[in-house]
Chain A
Amino acid sequence: MGRFLLSRLVDGIVAIWGVVTIVFVVSRLLGDPAILLLPVGATEEQLQQLRAGLGLDQPIWEQYLTFLGGVVRGDFGNSFQFMRPALSVVLERMPATMALAESALLVGVVLGAVAGSMAALFRGTIVEGVVMLLALLGQATPVFWLGLLLILLFAVDLGLLPTGGYEGPASLILPALTLGTFTTASIARLLRSGMLDVMKDDHVRTARAKGLLPGTVFLWHVARNSLIPVVTMVGILAGELLGGSVVTETVFSWPGVGRLIVQAMEAKDFPVVQAGVMVIATIFVVINLFVDLLYGLLDPRIRARR
């Protein structure tokens, strides 16, 4: 187990290193930051001075190492817009993003699990039909449009909830629903098909041959076994969720990391972009590490292999 943890940790670090490299390459493609930073009409001398100040006159591999070293220390440089460390700008916005992502995941897992189980239990009935139809629609509705529709309905027409911003729990409801819909739909569909598959397994037949009550069979022999693919899915969905948060935050003017990244991109404030992307990638890697551990808890076969 310890060895497994270590090897997964190394995998995660390699992945983050890869992200760092991609971020570095992309940011160098962005063009000469010195030109972007200085007002139009700056002299060549001023440019040279700034380049030296940013370390842009060094050979590329040295810049890379400097950049890597900075990342390790959590130093992404100062934000061009805010004139203070980019990482702290990003971290300030973290609570908002985490609140949104957590509520969306909660919505998705709870609603999705209930809906998926219902669909599997009542297969061939209207319940399954309705759940699956909603899930199909939920998977097909882009977050930004869903967000706009919800605003139109609940904020503009009914005036029940705020259109956006970050004031109290009421303002969390619409963004969390918006962001959680895709997760709900995906989990519902996966759980249903997983359960229907497990129901065909030999060991469920064994359980029924024991004369166990339907509730026992469902809970211990179907649901318990169907959780494993769902847990894997949650890891993948976390990525969708974090990516979706970029758009959702923009739609609802939610002061999170996603919106910050988009704004920083428009302002060519790439230390903030880099720090934001790194933070999100790190969260994603950590989530997947947890998913892997959970996976082992659920499946003794995998536990044994570690």
Chain B
Amino acid sequence: MTAPLLRVEGLRRHYASGGGLFGRARYVTRAVDDVSFDVMPGETLGLVGESGSGKSTTGRLVMGLEEPDAGRVVFDGTDLTSLSSSQRKPFRRRMQIVFQDPYAALNPRMRVGDFVQEPLLVHGAEAGPDRVAALFRTVGLDPAFMQRYPHEFSGGQRQRIGIARAIALRPQFLVADEPITALDVSIQAQIVNLFQDLQESMGLALLFIAHDLSMVRYLCSRVAVMLRGRIVEMGPTEAVFGDARHPYTQALLSAVPIPDPAHERGRKRLAFDAGGYAFPPAAALRDLGGGHFVLMGEAA
């Protein structure tokens, strides 16, 4: 068995809100609470959950865009959380991120060619126009677009530009934070196929954060389901989708609309109150065999 490329252990991030000049914080949001998972080289792990479940924060913590309150992010054997930002820089070549909103993800005052070139310059890599043009072609864009500004592009094209920037340094690992959510339906498949092509040609490992369960089922070999900052179920995609054990996963799967009228007419949705659900005491991920984990209390 090979070693995981990325190992996340006990990651925690709490946000304090409220409070003032002297008061201590009034509310604590457990954005990410004791999250652990591995990503193997070349593998795609799906991270699903609803808005506010902590999935995007997890991605940001993995990338070091936010500091965790506790826990470790180990990349290829090195604990990144203990590194200074200059020690961390070499790892930035090897792991990158693609964002959700293709409108906010590009600097509106920078030519897209410069934007794609920037990581090459920052890391002192070969950054000539040919290299940038090659990147444009890799993501299916005409290199003639390099001189243009972001507002001249459609959503799908912008997302391609964001991807070109992310893969410029040939990373081994990519966080894709809801990369298709903001796109039109007819464009989503283009981007998913692009991810697939890149994965095959570059051997990329992918942390695919999404709330579209059908897409996750299609794209990911393993999936982790998050609820209010915690992973409640994780395992090989078919195990989780075919034999969901956690009530939240079951409710989620029962609610996914399927484009098939006959199926939809017979559907029974399971009720689940995500906000009111109480985690059982001493809950921990327990192995059901075959790498399928479910968050359960001790009694179970």
Contacts and interface: CB of A to CB of B under 8 A. Distances in A.
B partners with A:
yes
Interface of A: 3-4, 7, 10-11, 305
A265 B205 CA distance: 73
Interface in B12-48: 18, 20-23
Interface of B: 18, 20-23
- Decide if the interface of chain B is mainly helix, strand, loop or mixed: loop
B193 to A, nearest CB: 35
10 contacts: A3-B20, A3-B23, A4-B20, A7-B20, A7-B21, A7-B22, A7-B23, A10-B21, A11-B21, A305-B18
Contacts of A10: 21
Given A7-B22, A11-B21, 8 more contacts: A3-B20, A3-B23, A4-B20, A7-B20, A7-B21, A7-B23, A10-B21, A305-B18
A305 B23 CA distance: 14
A305 B18 CA distance: 7
Contacts of A3: 20, 23
A10 B21 CA distance: 9
B269 to A, nearest CB: 27
A7 B22 CA distance: 8
Nearest to B21: A7
Contacts of A305: 18
Contacts of A11: 21
Contacts of B18: 305
Contacts of B21: 7, 10-11
B17 to A, nearest CB: 9
Contacts of B23: 3, 7
Contacts of A4: 20
Nearest to A305: B18
A52 to B, nearest CB: 41
Nearest to A14: B21
A18 to B, nearest CB: 15
A3 B26 CA distance: 12
